[in-house]
């Protein structure tokens, strides 16, 4: 299966029944297992992702309403709260913090049947430009592991560039999405200020 697929193509392929969400998620998890020891994009991986994908496939087969993401694997920067999951901000201070609620953006993605494949690395408290300053070790650029991936959303850019997910949700105040995207040859967007809620960030 080809993991080198755009978000729009993924949605179309699953919607048309050419690929299943379960199959794509399984291959994505296999890719993470194969490459992430060297790249260190992920701080944690969603152990329920395959089961969640099976539920998406059941909905599709039974003609139930499916959200616009159709089980798309999305990685999440580890400063965004997912209820009942660790949110560390790449800091030892928050190593055992379990988020008691979903960030607004997370809630909206859940409503659209996105699958969060895992939480990804970042500069501690998003204070950095290289993702070398994570308490859990640096991330590496997939194009050359001797190079930095940029930051602070370095894990997001690495995970997209290395086909460990289809898309990633980061955060950007002064370039923290756009900078690593440019380092890793991916596309990063910073939305209009105030357009997207920062609750839970």
Burial class (CB in 10 A: 0-12, 13-18, 19+), 146: exposed
Confidence grade of residue 1 (pLDDT, cut at 50, 70, 90): confident
Say what the pLDDT of residue 152 is: 98
Domain ranges (residues) in the chain: 7-183
CA pair distance 158, 121, nearest whole angstrom? 9
Residues serving a catalytic function are: 77, 152, 176
CA pair distance 173, 89, nearest whole angstrom? 15
Q: Give the rounded percent of residues in the chain with a pLDDT score beyond 70.
A: 100
Mean pLDDT of the chain: 98
Q: Give the rounded percent of residues in the chain with a pLDDT score beyond 90.
A: 99
115 to each of 29, 94, 123, 183, 191, how far by Cα in Å?
12, 24, 24, 26, 22
Confidence grade of residue 15 (pLDDT, cut at 50, 70, 90): very high
199 to each of 15, 82, 102, 108, 162, how far by Cα in Å?
31, 12, 9, 12, 29
75 to each of 26, 43, 157, 185, how far by Cα in Å?
15, 10, 10, 17
Indicate the DSSP class of residue 125. Answer: G
Name the nearest CA neighbour of 18 among 6, 9, 26. Answer: 9
* pLDDT, tens only, 119-131: 999 999 999 999 9
Say what the pLDDT of residue 174 is: 93
pTM: 0.96
Confidence grade of residue 10 (pLDDT, cut at 50, 70, 90): very high
CATH superfamily of 7-183: Amidase signature (AS) domain (3.90.1300.10)
Confidence grade of residue 24 (pLDDT, cut at 50, 70, 90): very high
Say what the pLDDT of residue 154 is: 99
């Amino acid at each position: 299966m080809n993991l080198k697929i755009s978000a729009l193509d993924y949605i179309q392929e699953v919607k048309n029944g050419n690929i299943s969400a379960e199959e794509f998620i399984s291959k994505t998890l296999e890719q993470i297992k194969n490459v992430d020891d060297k790249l260190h994009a992920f701080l944690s991986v969603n152990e329920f992702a395959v089961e969640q994908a099976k539920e998406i496939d059941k909905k599709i087969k039974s003609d139930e309403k499916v959200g616009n993401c159709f089980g798309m694997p999305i990685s999440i920067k580890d400063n965004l709260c997912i209820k009942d999951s660790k949110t560390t901000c790449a800091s030892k201070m928050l190593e055992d913090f379990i988020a008691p609620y979903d960030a607004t953006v997370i809630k909206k993605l859940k409503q659209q049947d996105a699958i969060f494949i895992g939480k990804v690395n970042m500069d501690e408290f998003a204070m950095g430009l290289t993702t070398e300053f994570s308490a859990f070790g640096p991330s590496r650029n997939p194009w050359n592991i001797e190079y930095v991936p940029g930051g602070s959303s370095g894990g997001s850019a690495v995970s997209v560039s290395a086909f460990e997910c289809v898309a990633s949700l980061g955060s950007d105040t002064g370039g923290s999405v756009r900078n690593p995207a440019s380092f890793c040859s991916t596309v990063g967007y910073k939305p209009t200020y105030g357009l997207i809620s920062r609750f839970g960030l």
